[in-house]
């Protein structure tokens, strides 16, 4: 199915469209196990939630993401060697006239047809017993040589787990609940899955893979957010119908490859990840991880500089979740990137962990916006300081390695150990701007003791501008954002500006820049906007070597109701209206103000250009590894032609 096609083809007008033959088949299948064994039975635990039910007034339609994927599943199945069994639930309303949002229902997809099997009443998708019952029922009624399980919905990483049931206060399945549900199903059936897949965000993590390893040979999931279109079920099931003898590794690779091609079709290929994990190898990953953190734990509290060096490695590792605000960060980080960043400190244990990770990840897809995604992430608190305590408590309850939990508790305590603000000194005799005598530029410089620089994670330039008020009221400061206009002499402790008077423009329009992460060869920014009237962050990738920008897409942040990340990374397209959002502040108030609206053209041009004439402020932001920010004095300067 292409992005422009109707996603409700299977509905055929109404629930009455089911034929009497289908109803008869369904009744038989629901009550008596089938005698004939398929080669594959794929169970789909489909929690539609707001991905299905969200209503758009302008288009007068629901999002219908689950409906679209059901349609793909139907179109991809042929023959009777592969059966797809679906439980729908957790959704207030569906974008089709067949599935009943008032209750959980079970369906069979076989040979290009959808059959209604039974209604099971309203059940909480976020309850382990609901998962157990579906798995036991599905494997009993639809026997096969191999089984797969697909978890379809939101994902929240190691802390929040999977799913969001709209009928039960957005309840989710935490990892310990996932384990409980699958463990009981395994106890009753003895059936191990060939593959467990998460068509959900942020679930390709060590914790999930290790904890579910007794129940599946392979896992396929994404480290990063997934676009709303999700997997290409039509292509996957078409391939599986042709080659039903495939093992979980082959099936996982098909899912990854077709997912990548699907993203290209939708113009959302720039920020994707998907990996296939050999679950039998995850135990070795955890053993190696525990050895590394044991070694680190023995030294980071003895000498503060040891903590700083480890924290430096953590800060440079690729993170997932898309958040521009630290309070919305998932704190999920690529484990291989982290391991390599601390390898100089702990060479032997880091080498062992890297080797274990490379054996566990047997296939991996990443992208220009996520170049360091190596297949498995891990929860490692760093940015979301406001929620450290709550999230770490939730994490400690999921049943993952106590050695690792203890290390995180030690690490967080070090982070929050009451560091004072960094002592910053203005360098004497320096003026910011151009000398009146020789027209030479004098940079703004400050001095920081080099020892104190050791605890600094990032140094940013901040630029603000005065906005004149015609009525004579106080002139507010309009915040343009953070950028990398900074030159640091780490040995001498001198921080100087590298400001050229330019700022980023989008097709000639100034925008706010929030610097999210900076790798060795790229920088990731967020631009806060109203995109077609909705508050969004547009994520931008900057290639340092090429000096070029690339728009990755627009993201809506965390849901205020569910706490789960928005699954939709929306492509920015020709004709979209963008209203830049600028933070402003005075002595008495602050808030956001709209910039000048503009329409996206046939091509997107992001480039630096000179700021308009006016009065500006320039200063530095120094952020330490505990998330504490120190602001230097701000220097006022004028820009004139």
Assess whether 313 and 274 both reside in one domain: no
Rounded to whole angstroms, how far apart are CA atoms 348 and 337?
16
Residue 4 falls within a domain, yes or no?
no
pLDDT digits (tens, 9 = 90+) for 71-80: 999 999 988 8
The one-character DSSP state at 205 is: B
Assess whether 205 and 168 both reside in one domain: yes
Q: Is residue 196 within 8 Å of 155, Cβ to Cβ?
A: no
Pick out the chain residues at pLDDT < 50: 1-8, 11-31, 429-438, 471-472
pLDDT digits (tens, 9 = 90+) for 350-383: 999 999 999 999 999 999 999 999 999 999 998 8
Residue 2 falls within a domain, yes or no?
no
Assess whether 92 and 232 both reside in one domain: yes
Q: Point out which residues pair with 584 in neighbouring strands.
A: 478, 591
- Which ranges of 64-174 does DSSP label H, i.e. alpha helix? 65-76, 128-141, 157-160
Rounded to whole angstroms, how far apart are CA atoms 338 and 603?
36
Question: If residue 299 lies in a helix (H) or strand (E), which one and from where to where?
Answer: helix 282-300
Residue 1 falls within a domain, yes or no?
no
Assess whether 183 and 290 both reside in one domain: no
Assess whether 188 and 310 both reside in one domain: no
Boundary-marking domain end, from 224, 259, 280: 280
Tokens of 494: 């001198």
Assess whether 79 and 206 both reside in one domain: yes
Q: Is the dihedral of CA 485, 610, 577, 541 positive or negative?
A: negative
Boundary-marking domain end, from 258, 280, 302: 280
Assess whether 535 and 479 both reside in one domain: yes
Nearest in space to 211 (alpha carbons), one of 388, 338, 353, 376:
376
Q: What is the pLDDT of residue 442?
A: 66
Q: What is the pLDDT of residue 477?
A: 79
Q: Is residue 465 within 8 Å of 479, Cβ to Cβ?
A: no
Assess whether 404 and 458 both reside in one domain: no
Tokens of 514: 């929030």
Residue 536 falls within a domain, yes or no?
yes
CA angle 195, 51, 323 (to 5 degrees): 90
Assess whether 260 and 338 both reside in one domain: no
Rounded to whole angstroms, how far apart are CA atoms 399 and 270?
34
Q: What is the pLDDT of residue 418?
A: 63
pTM beyond 0.75: yes
Residue 182 falls within a domain, yes or no?
yes
Residue 3 falls within a domain, yes or no?
no
Which residue pairs, CB below 8 angstroms and at least 24 apart, start in 23-32?
Answer: 23/116, 25/115, 26/108, 26/115, 26/116, 26/117, 26/118, 29/108, 29/115, 29/117, 29/141, 29/142, 30/106, 30/117, 30/118, 30/141, 32/141
Q: What is the pLDDT of residue 29?
A: 46
Assess whether 274 and 289 both reside in one domain: no
Assess whether 402 and 265 both reside in one domain: no
Rounded to whole angstroms, how far apart are CA atoms 71 and 49?
17
Q: Is residue 604 within 8 Å of 506, Cβ to Cβ?
A: yes
The one-character DSSP state at 501 is: S
Q: What count of other Cβ atoms lies within 10 Å of the Cβ of residue 592? A: 14
Tokens of 335: 């484990």
How many domains, in total, are found in the chain? 3
| Coil, strand or helix at 480 | strand
Q: What count of other Cβ atoms lies within 10 Å of the Cβ of residue 171? A: 19
Domain containing 29 — which CATH number?
3.40.50.11970
Which domain range does residue 38 map to?
9-280
Assess whether 275 and 290 both reside in one domain: no
Q: Is residue 21 within 8 Å of 129, Cβ to Cβ?
A: no
Rounded to whole angstroms, how far apart are CA atoms 353 and 376?
12
Residue 581 falls within a domain, yes or no?
yes
Tokens of 413: 């305590």
Nearest in space to 341 (alpha carbons), one of 372, 384, 376, 366:
372
Q: What is the pLDDT of residue 206?
A: 99
Q: Is residue 147 within 8 Å of 195, Cβ to Cβ?
A: no
Question: If residue 284 lies in a helix (H) or strand (E), which one and from where to where?
Answer: helix 282-300
């Amino acid at each position: 199915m292409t992005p422009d096609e109707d996603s409700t083809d299977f509905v055929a007008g109404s629930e009455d469209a089911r034929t009497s033959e289908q109803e008869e088949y369904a009744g038989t299948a629901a009550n008596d196990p089938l005698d004939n064994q398929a080669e594959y039975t794929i169970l789909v635990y489909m929690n539609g939630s707001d991905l299905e039910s969200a209503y758009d007034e302008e288009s007068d339609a629901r999002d219908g993401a689950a409906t679209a994927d059901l349609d793909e599943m139907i179109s991809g199945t042929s023959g009777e060697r592969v059966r797809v069994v679906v439980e729908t639930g957790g959704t207030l309303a569906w974008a089709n006239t067949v599935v009943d949002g008032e209750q959980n229902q079970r369906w069979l997809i076989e040979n290009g047809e959808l059959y209604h099997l039974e209604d099971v009443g309203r059940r909480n998708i976020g309850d382990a017993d609901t998962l157990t019952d579906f798995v036991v029922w599905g494997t009993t009624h639809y026997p096969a040589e191999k089984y797969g399980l697909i978890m379809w919905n939101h994902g929240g990483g190691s802390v929040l787990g999977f799913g969001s049931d709209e009928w039960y206060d957005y309840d989710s399945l935490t990892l310990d609940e996932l384990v409980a549900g699958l463990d009981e199903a395994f106890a009753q059936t003895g059936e191990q899955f060939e593959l467990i897949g998460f068509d959900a965000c942020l679930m390709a993590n060590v914790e999930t893979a290790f904890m579910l390893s007794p129940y599946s040979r392979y896992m396929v999931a994404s480290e990063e957010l997934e676009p709303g279109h999700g997997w290409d079920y039509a292509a996957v099931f078409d391939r599986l119908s042709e080659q039903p003898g495939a093992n979980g590794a082959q099936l996982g690779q098909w899912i990854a490859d077709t997912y990548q091609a699907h993203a290209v079709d939708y113009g959302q290929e720039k920020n994707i990840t998907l990996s296939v994990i050999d679950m039998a190898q995850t135990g070795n990953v955890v053993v190696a991880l525990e050895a590394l953190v044991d070694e680190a734990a023995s030294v980071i509290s003895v000498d503060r500089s040891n903590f700083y060096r480890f924290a430096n490695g953590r800060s440079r590792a690729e993170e997932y979740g898309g958040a521009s605000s630290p309070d919305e960060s998932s704190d999920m980080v690529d484990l291989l990137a982290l391991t390599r960043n601390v390898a100089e400190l702990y060479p032997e244990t880091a080498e062992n962990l890297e080797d274990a990770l490379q054996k566990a990840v047997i296939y991996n897809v990443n992208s220009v916006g996520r170049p360091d995604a190596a297949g498995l992430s891990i929860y490692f608190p760093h940015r979301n300081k406001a929620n450290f305590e709550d999230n770490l408590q939730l994490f400690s309850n999921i049943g993952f390695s106590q050695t690792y939990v203890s290390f995180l508790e030690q690490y967080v305590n070090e982070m929050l150990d009451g560091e004072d603000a960094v002592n910053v000194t203005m360098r004497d005799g320096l003026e910011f701007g151009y000398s009146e005598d020789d027209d030479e530029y004098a940079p703004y410089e400050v001095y920081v003791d080099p020892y104190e620089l050791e605890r600094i994670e990032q140094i940013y330039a901040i630029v603000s501008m005065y906005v004149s008020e015609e009525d004579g009221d106080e002139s507010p400061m309009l915040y343009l954002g953070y950028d990398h206009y900074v030159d640091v002499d780490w040995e001498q402790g001198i921080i100087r500006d590298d400001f050229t008077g330019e700022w980023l423009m989008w097709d000639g329009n100034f925008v706010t820049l929030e610097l999210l992460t900076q790798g060795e060869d790229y920088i990731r920014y967020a631009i806060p906007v109203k995109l077609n009237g909705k508050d969004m962050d547009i994520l931008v990738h900057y290639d340092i070597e090429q000096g070029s920008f690339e728009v990755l897409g627009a993201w809506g942040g965390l849901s205020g109701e569910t706490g789960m990340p928005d699954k939709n990374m929306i492509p920015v397209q020709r004709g979209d209206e963008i209203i830049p959002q600028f933070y402003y502040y005075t002595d008495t108030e602050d808030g956001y103000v709209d910039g000048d609206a503009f329409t996206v053209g046939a091509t997107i041009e992001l480039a630096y250009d000179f700021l308009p004439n006016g009065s500006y402020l320039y200063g530095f932001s120094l952020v330490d590894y505990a998330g504490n920010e120190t602001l230097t004095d701000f220097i006022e300067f004028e820009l004139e032609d």
